[in-house]
C-alpha cells in the first residue's frame, strides 16, 4: 500500500528531533512513500503548512540541535472542530498517516486524531525523559551531557570558595535529569519528584556534612518546580559555613549538538515508526526498553506511569 506520511515535532524542542525527522523521511522514501514535513507541530497541521521532503531536504541536519520544522504548543488542538480542520488539511495533499515527535501532550493530540480514524505513530522527543512507553526519550542524553558539563564547571569554582551550589534542572514531573546528573557530578543531594526528600532534608544533610566532614564544597541538584533554589541557597549561607549559590540552568539544557546516543535512538525509533505504518499499525508509540526497540498502544502507554528506576535512587543514596 502506498502511503503519504506527514511528520511533525511538537511540545518542547529537544536535540535529536532533527535526526528523528531525517530517519522518518529516509525510511519512508526508501519504501517508496511520499513525505511531508509539517511546520510548528499541530499549528502547521491546522494551517496546512506542509513542505514536501526529499532525501536532500533532510541532509546536514543530523548534527543540529532543535528542530528544523519548528515546534509549538497549540492548546486549541484539544478542540474537536480544530482537529477536523487539521484532518481536512491532510486530505488536501492526500496525507494518510502521521508520525508525531514530542512528549505525552503530543501523544494526547495524536490520540484525538487516531479516534477519528487517522493512522498515527508517536515518537518520544523531549529532554525531560517523562514519556511513557520508553526508558529513554530523544534529547535526554544530550541535556544530561549539558547539565554535567555545567555542574562540573560550577564544582571547580565552588571548591575554590567553600560554596554549596544549588542547581535547578529541567525534567517537569520526572526526576531523571536531576538524579542522573547528581550521580554523574558526585552531588551530595538530589531532590526529585519521585522521592519525598525535600528542602528541609536537603538542608539537614548539608548542615551535617558541614559539621562532620568539613568538605570544601557541596552540590544539590533539584528538579524544577519542587523547591525555591534561591531560598535554599540563602538558608545554607545563614546556617552553615558554606556560601550557598543558586543556579537555574534553564533553556540552555534544551540546546546543543545531539550526542551519539540521541542520534542513534532517533534513527532507530524513526525507522521503527515507519515500519509500523508500513504494517498498517496505527495508534502506537515507539520506545526503547532493554536496548530493544518496542512499540505499544499510545493510550495504554499514557495510562501507565513513566518507568522509574528506583534502584538508581538507592545507589545514589548509598554513594552520595
281 contacts 295 by C-beta, under 8 angstroms: yes
Q: Which is nearer to ligand ATP, 101 or 220 (CB)?
A: 101
Of the residues 13, 104, 128, 195, which is catalytic?
128
Pick from 67, 63, 62: nearest CA to 14: 67
Question: Which of residues 103 and 193 has its CB atom nearest to ligand ATP in the complex?
Answer: 103
**Alpha-carbon dihedral sign for residues 263, 264, 269, 270:** positive
307-313 CB contacts, 8 Å cutoff, 24+ apart: 307/134, 307/135, 308/194, 309/176, 310/194, 312/179, 312/180, 312/183, 313/179, 313/190, 313/192, 313/194, 313/195
CB of 188 to ligand ATP, least distance (A): 29
Instruction: Please indicate whether residue 152 is annotated as part of the active site.
Output: no
SS3 of 108, please? helix
E strands, 125-192, in order: 163-169, 189-191
Q: Please say which residue, 37 or 122, places its beta carbon nearer to ligand ATP.
A: 122
Task: Give the distance, in angstroms, between the CA of residue 161 and the centroid of all CA atoms in the same chain.
Answer: 34
Q: Residue 123 CB, nearest distance to ligand ATP (Å)?
A: 11
69, 39 contact by CB (below 8 A): yes
Query: In the bound complex, what is the minimum distance in angstroms from residue 152's beta carbon to ligand ATP?
Result: 26
240 closest CA partner among 265, 203, 268 = 203
Nearer to ligand ATP, 103 or 244 (CB): 103
Nearest-approach distance from CB 199 to ligand ATP, in angstroms:
25
Q: Which is nearer to ligand ATP, 129 or 240 (CB)?
A: 129
- Cα separation, 263 vs 259, in Å, equals 7
CB of 23 to ligand ATP, least distance (A): 19
For ligand ATP, the binding residues (CB under 6 A) are 10-12, 42, 73-75, 77-78, 102-106, 108-109, 112, 126, 128
Active site residues: 128
Amino acid at each position: 500500500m502506498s502511503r503519504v506520511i506527514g511528520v511533525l515535532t511538537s511540545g518542547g524542542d529537544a536535540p535529536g528531533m532533527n535526526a528523528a525527522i531525517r530517519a522518518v523521511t529516509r525510511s519512508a522514501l526508501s519504501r517508496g512513500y511520499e513525505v511531508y514535513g509539517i511546520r510548528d507541530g499541530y499549528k502547521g497541521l491546522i494551517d496546512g503548512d506542509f513542505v514536501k521532503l526529499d532525501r536532500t531536504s533532510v541532509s546536514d541536519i543530523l548534527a543540529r540541535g532543535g528542530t528544523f520544522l519548528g515546534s509549538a504548543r497549540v492548546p486549541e488542538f484539544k478542540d474537536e472542530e480544530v482537529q477536523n480542520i487539521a484532518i481536512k488539511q491532510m486530505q488536501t495533499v492526500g496525507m494518510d498517516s502521521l508520525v508525531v515527535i514530542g512528549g505525552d501532550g503530543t501523544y494526547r493530540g495524536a490520540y484525538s486524531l487516531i479516534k477519528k480514524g487517522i493512522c498515527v505513530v508517536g515518537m518520544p522527543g523531549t529532554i525531560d525523559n517523562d514519556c511513557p512507553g520508553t526508558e529513554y526519550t530523544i534529547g535526554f542524553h544530550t541535556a544530561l551531557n549539558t547539565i554535567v558539563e555545567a555542574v562540573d564547571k560550577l564544582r571547580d569554582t565552588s571548591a575554590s570558595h567553600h560554596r554549596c551550589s544549588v542547581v535547578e534542572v529541567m525534567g517537569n514531573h520526572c526526576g531523571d535529569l536531576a538524579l542522573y546528573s547528581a550521580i554523574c557530578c558526585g552531588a551530595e543531594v538530589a531532590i526529585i519528584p519521585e522521592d519525598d526528600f525535600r528542602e528541609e532534608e536537603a538542608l539537614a544533610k548539608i548542615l551535617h556534612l558541614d559539621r562532620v566532614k568539613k568538605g570544601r564544597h557541596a552540590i544539590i541538584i533539584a528538579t524544577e518546580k519542587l523547591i525555591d533554589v534561591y531560598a535554599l541557597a540563602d538558608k545554607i549561607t545563614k546556617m552553615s559555613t558554606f556560601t550557598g549559590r543558586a543556579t537555574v540552568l534553564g533553556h540552555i539544557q534544551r540546546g546543543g549538538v545531539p550526542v551519539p546516543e540521541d542520534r542513534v535512538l532517533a534513527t532507530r525509533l524513526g525507522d521503527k515508526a515507519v515500519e509500523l505504518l508500513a504494517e498498517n499499525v496505527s495508534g502506537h508509540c515507539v520506545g526503547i526498553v532493554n536496548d530493544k526497540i518496542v512499540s505499544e498502544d499510545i493510550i495504554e502507554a499514557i495510562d501507565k506511569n513513566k518507568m522509574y528506576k528506583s534502584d538508581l535512587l538507592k545507589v545514589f543514596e548509598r554513594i552520595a
